[in-house]
Chains A and B, each alone.
Chain A
Amino acid sequence: MKGAPLKIGFIPLVDAAPLIIARELGFAEEEGIDLELKRSASWSALRDLLYVGQVDAAHMLAPVPVAGALGLGGAGVPLSVISVLSINGNVIGLGQELAYELRNKGHSFSFLNAKEAGKALIGSINDEFRIGVPFPFSMHAELIYYWLSEMGLPAPLGVSVRTIPPSVMVDALKAGEIDAFCVGEPWGSLSVENNVGTLLLPTCAIWKSAPEKVLATRTAWAESEPVLRDRLIRAVWRAARWLSDPSAHSLATEVLSRNEYLNVPAELIGRALSGNLVISAKGEERKIPGFVRFYEGAATFPWKSQAEWIGDRLASRNGLDRAKGREAAARTFRSDFYRAALGGTSAVLPGASSKLEGALSQPAVVSAAQGHLELEADSFFDGQIFEPSRT
């Protein structure tokens, strides 16, 4: 018997994996829901499909629901984040000319150190530097602004940050419309494969635990459909748990590479899942444990403090009241819904719904709602610690 139908929108990216796996490996079916996955061509189109109810839930950039709550980027309806889908998983890459310049000046492309890479980059660019990000409201944009500003290049003033959709990022770099990019996988690896780009840094080198994609719904839907909402959260959580086992990666890459999903070779997808990235056409490899995380360290828990960090950054850059921005942002991350859905399962839920962001340079065991929970390292490259407001 088929479950209750749910329409879910996604963008072809490796971090859509929990949704695709929930459908293809039967986790949705076990929860009595039937996921109809609809691929979308752009983030704005997907957001609008969600606004008008053409999809019930969507794979979404974490800052999009927050921006909406702050009144940025056009009028819509209130959105709720019912689960985080992934942590990290983006790469910063350079066009070949710029990469050559950095190498000439002695940069090692160690792919680890954001300070070193930032210094090398700033030393090799002029004031016409252009970097592509997939969307104005994205962790790509936030992390680029954060990184370059802290390195002494005040973005967006000193840098031209351009919006380029992921699927055309490689073409834009090739056509010389941008000098560098920050994009989710597999599009960075594709630039390497086509000998158009060289990867400089994974974004986890800027923030070790950045919330990347979320599962967003209309707030009105989440409130009026608690049963379906809970089933969806559980199905995605089970898919994420399955994805965390390295032995699942070869099957996961095969499924993701299908025409109707990412439609790129499985090998490219495998690089992101395993964290073994090839950074240049010469075949230089870099191992990044936890390059993209779907499960470990309560990865899918929607921390109010993550939302506040995003809200704080967006508000301050757009000249809005920061305290109000944080408050509005925190309301979009619904840790209450997440707790309600996973309360009766084997999931270990955090004791609090907000935490210091950036305080852990190493994984740490903290007390959970029941028992203990290991959180992953979450420090910023410059050691800043973000303190959320009391909730």
Chain B
Amino acid sequence: MSELLSIVVVESDRDRALQIVDSLRKAGEIEIYVIGTTTSLSREVQKRQPDVVLIDIENPSRDTLEELALASGPLERPVAMFVDQSDDGLSAAAIEAGVSAYVVDGLQPGRLKPILDAAIARFKMFERMRKELAATKQALEERKVIDRAKGMLMKAKGLSENEAYDILRKTAMGQNKRVADVADALVTAAGLLS
């Protein structure tokens, strides 16, 4: 176990994979393999015999790695999901950041920590980007719906754009709803009636 630590990173997005590899390299002398395809994942991992496997928690193929935890043959290395309650919240931090780690039984905690710290920092950034992207998408969708609702009001009641938006805003306030929700209801109802 005193040799070079080997890590498998499961990541199909090439750019993300490169970023992860870069941050891990800074954590020490490590041998890193990236597995991009998720088919036959557990066989690939078994072939590499790594000390640590890192995989995005949102990756559904992660379940296939659970098979490895069951490996009990003499030549197979037990790989267990890294959840340890006595590790100062390291595993909780990893899961929160969106990364799951499988670690070979018996690996020194001291060797693992810098690796996981680096992975956590990187995945936190991915997680934030994922959330930002989702929020931006939603904001765009809502903007579109509000514009359509405004257009409908302007046409139906002969209003200016500002007046139309005022009606949406007042209705939303009166009903304790968001403007986007009122607009959505209007667009849906108009669609049903047309």
The residues of A with any CB-CB pair to B shorter than 8 Å are 41-45, 48-49, 51-54, 72-77, 134-137, 162-165, 167-168, 172, 175, 177, 318-319
Contacts and interface: CB of A to CB of B under 8 A. Distances in A.
B70 A165 contact: no
B80 A74 contact: yes
B83 A76 contact: yes
Helix, strand, loop or mixed for chain B's interface? mixed
21 contacts: A41-B59, A44-B62, A44-B65, A45-B58, A51-B83, A52-B92, A73-B66, A73-B69, A75-B80, A75-B83, A76-B83, A134-B63, A135-B66, A136-B69, A163-B63, A163-B67, A164-B63, A164-B64, A165-B60, A167-B60, A318-B70
Contacts of B34: none
A249 B70 CA distance: 40
Contacts of A43: 63, 66
A49 B95 contact: yes
Contacts of A52: 83, 91-92, 95-96
Interface of B: 39-40, 42, 57-67, 69-70, 72, 80-81, 83-85, 91-92, 95-96, 100
Nearest to B82: A74
Contacts of A74: 66, 69, 80-81, 83
Most buried by B among A54, A74, A137, A165: A74
A135 B96 CA distance: 23
Contact of B64 (A45, A54, A76, A162): A162
Nearest to A43: B63
B71 to A, nearest CB: 11
Contact of A44 (B72, B92, B100): B100
Given A44-B62, A137-B66, A163-B67, 6 more contacts: A41-B62, A42-B62, A48-B83, A51-B83, A74-B81, A136-B67
Give the one of A44, A53, A137 with max B CB within 10 A: A44
B67 A45 contact: no
Contacts of B39: 172, 175, 177
A292 B61 CA distance: 26
Contacts of B69: 72-74, 136
A165 B55 CA distance: 15
B182 to A, nearest CB: 20
A331 B80 CA distance: 24
B100 A48 contact: yes
Contacts of B42: 163
Contacts of A75: 80-81, 83-84
Nearest to A77: B85
Contacts of B72: 318-319
Given A48-B100, A175-B39, A41 B60 contact: yes
